[in-house]
Amino acid sequence: MKFSTAVFAICITSASGFAPGTGRFSQRVSTEVFSGMPPPFPTPGAVPAAPAPVPVAAPAAPAPAAAAPAAPAVGNPNPFGAKSLEYTGGDDPNNSNYGRLTDALNEADTERRKEKEAADQRERAAEIRKEERMRKIAYMEEMPDSTPAGTVDEFMFKEGVQDQLDNLEEDLVGLIPVKKRVKEIAALLVLDKMRRKLGFETAVPSLHMSFTGAPGTGKTTVAVRMGQILAKMGYARRGHVVLATRDDLVGQYVGHTAPKTKEMIKKAMGGVLLVDEAYYLYNAANDRDYGQESIEILLNVMENNQDDLVVAVAGYKDRMDKFFSYIPGMMSRIGNHIDFPNYSADELVKIAGVMAGSLEYEISDDAYPVFKTYVEKRMELPFFSNARTVRNAMDRARMNSAIRTFERYAINGENGGVCSVEDLKSIKAEDFQVLVDDIVNADVGTRIFA
């Protein structure tokens, strides 16, 4: 028994030496084990000692009050000093990716509540629309067919549409098919508004347009009149016309096209965006051309903003047909195709009279045949531009009249240098004869500019 006790004490002493903080623990264990114990191997010749009397333990004193737990050392904090299951953060850089389960559940409940409220609102809105439609159907069924809806002329004059059509008739000489098409569109808008007044179902018609024809045939003038008609009828907020070309819509580097196109669309909102020579937007020979991006933006606006913007594309008929073959989406979004024919010589002479009257000039009767001769010869040459060519000819005739009047009264001193009002207003045959002589006598390479 004594031997086993000694071996146990030695094992405890050895093991405690490897444990942290073994100093006091090993000393206390060895002292408690060996105190009062006889040596395991008695010394030869030694008298065995008498057994020590068992001391009587005195009554134990009351235990002192438990001291407050010492604060954990700063260098080695007690890992069990706080709640072991409570998340206290840390220095993990991914801490922001974690969250409380209760927060996630509350957020999910909020999302479900919002979705339910939105669904209830949609259902209520659908019920309101259905009720309104049923009331409207009942009203239409009970309304007699003899209910007065007003006259077409009343709407035409009240809205100012007739004034715009009259101005179009005065500004444009000829172009009978164009004027007919414009009147048809105006009639649709007027009747649509009369239906709306009575409560009939109405929808905004497709008002996007395509103007095909040679230069100077009045495409821009018609676009301006159409914008004013749409504004009068309430289909356009402003009714203005914004003229754009490829340079206004297409950028020169990546990321430049979209802002330019959107800026032009923003300017034209509430009116008409007229894209002149629209076929230049698409370059079939270059897949990286930025014009395709501009076309895609225009197509999107034509589909989603047709109630606030009218897009009109213009150009030569053959080139526009080829452009539509490349961009079928553009063709399908345009509901009004108007072809502008070339003017005849007589119509161009009338246009010259209109231009002269707008500037308070008077063309003498003998001057009209001379001007018609000029027009006929000019139409045979390249780069003829219909009304634009007439406008340039009228500017030259005004200049010739000014030179003639200046020579008579300023240089030659006729009538003491005093000219009359008629001299300042008249354009005579000799003023147009200069243009005819320039074509006849000029070289082949330069007469096209006469």
Give 61-85 as a DSSP string. Answer: PPPPPPPPPPPPPSSS--TTSS-TT
Q: Over range 407-415, report the average pLDDT.
A: 85
pTM: 0.60
Kindly indicate the confidence band of residue 23, based on its pLDDT and cuts at 50, 70 and 90. very low
pLDDT at 34: 47
344 token code pair: 């005849």
Of the candidate ranges 175-179, 203-207, 262-266, the one whose mean pLDDT is the lowest: 203-207
Kindly indicate the confidence band of residue 89, based on its pLDDT and cuts at 50, 70 and 90. low
pLDDT at 349: 93
Q: To the nearest whole number, what is the mean pLDDT of the chain?
A: 77
pLDDT at 108: 80
pLDDT reading at 372 higher than 90: yes
pLDDT reading at 104 higher than 80: no
Q: Over range 13-28, report the average pLDDT.
A: 48
Q: Over range 394-423, report the average pLDDT.
A: 88
Kindly indicate the confidence band of residue 51, based on its pLDDT and cuts at 50, 70 and 90. low
pLDDT at 219: 86
Kindly indicate the confidence band of residue 21, based on its pLDDT and cuts at 50, 70 and 90. very low
pLDDT reading at 66 higher than 50: no
> From the CB of residue 210, how many other CB atoms can be counted at a distance below 10 Å?
23
CA distance linking residue 203 with residue 194, whole number of Å = 13
pLDDT at 81: 55
Which uninterrupted H or E stretch holds 48? none
CA distance linking residue 157 with residue 432, whole number of Å = 42
pLDDT at 403: 92
Of the candidate ranges 21-30, 142-151, 387-396, the one whose mean pLDDT is the lowest: 21-30
Backbone angles phi, psi at 382, to 5 degrees: -65, 165
Of the candidate ranges 6-10, 31-35, 101-105, 393-397, the one whose mean pLDDT is the lowest: 31-35
51 token code pair: 């057994």
pLDDT in tens, 331-353: 888 988 889 999 999 999 999 99
Kindly indicate the confidence band of residue 289, based on its pLDDT and cuts at 50, 70 and 90. confident
3-state class of 111 per DSSP? helix
